Structure 1
Amino acid sequence: MTKVPRLLDTFTPNHYNLTLDLTRAEEKEFSGTVIISGESTSESISLHSKGLTIQSATIDNQPADVSFGEFDELRLSQPNLENGKHTIHINFSGNITDAMHGLYPCYFTHDGVKKQLFATQFESHHAREVFPCVDEPAAKAEYDLTLITRPEITVLGNMPVKKQKKMAILSRRHLRKHHE
């Protein structure tokens, strides 16, 4: 039997500041940024990431080398990285699939009109499909979540809203006209 390494044994996250940009959700794409505070006991920091494209990563505001291992492992390293408290910043993107886990669409008809909504399923080992994290049940941490959506989108959650701000998203064409 294959033993899957527990990432929590080498990096313990205590806070995630996660921003997900869902303005391209209709095209089945999303992007995001996650800032993770935690403590490492290894020369590298390992997180879970499945099907995500990593655009950039830093550890303590310094560029990190990115590599991938078995079992959906994303490894971040720097020369002379020491044990202790660290802050990780990762920019990433991904695709929304119909698999009913991670971030996925649900389809329904209302008053004869076909519609869709987007839902999440993060139970054991599916959060890694939406953002880099330590995706293990024992890895408890606090989260701040920011969702960027089009103004007409309604967002529902299972926690009270800390802050809400509606912003108009201007098209590139509109921006060019504004700046001419």
Structure 2
Amino acid sequence: MRYLKILLVTAPLWCLWSCFSFSYNDDDNNRLSSRFQAVVMERTAFENAVSIMPAMPVQKAGKIYVYGNYLFVNDVNKGFHIYNYSNPSSPQPLGFLAAPGSTDMAIRDNIFFINQATDLVTLAYNTDSNTITITKRNRNVFPAMRSPDEFDGQVTDSQVIVDWQPL
């Protein structure tokens, strides 16, 4: 009976102990700072940066979205490349939707929804004139970007982290 009591007391403690990791790797767990530096924009410049630009090469491809005869390829944390996709074997570049900090988009009824770092931006894209009109911006819908090694950036309320660069 005595051994059963000891087992009933120590078993939950042993299970709780196993939830914590006590092995440290000098390269990762003991660091007090990130190996990356935040790329920061002032909020006014950040909000005014959404625009259509001439087509350019993709640098770091992210998510892909097809809508009607158009193909959108995210350039991670930079914006979206727009292609005419009426001939899928030969997409033709039309332009670049610059949106610093963006990684994803959705389209419904010709209304575009993009995440731009912390904000959800709603815009209308006119395919004939290759122009956009921002119809709504919901600020701070998404959490601030963390570094690839999971550190928070230190910014003021008037700043937004749009990317992280290695030191």
| Superposition TM-score, scaled by structure 2 size | 0.26
Larger radius of gyration: 2
Structure having greater relative contact order (Cα 8 Å, sep ≥ 6): 1
| Superposition TM-score, scaled by structure 1 size | 0.24
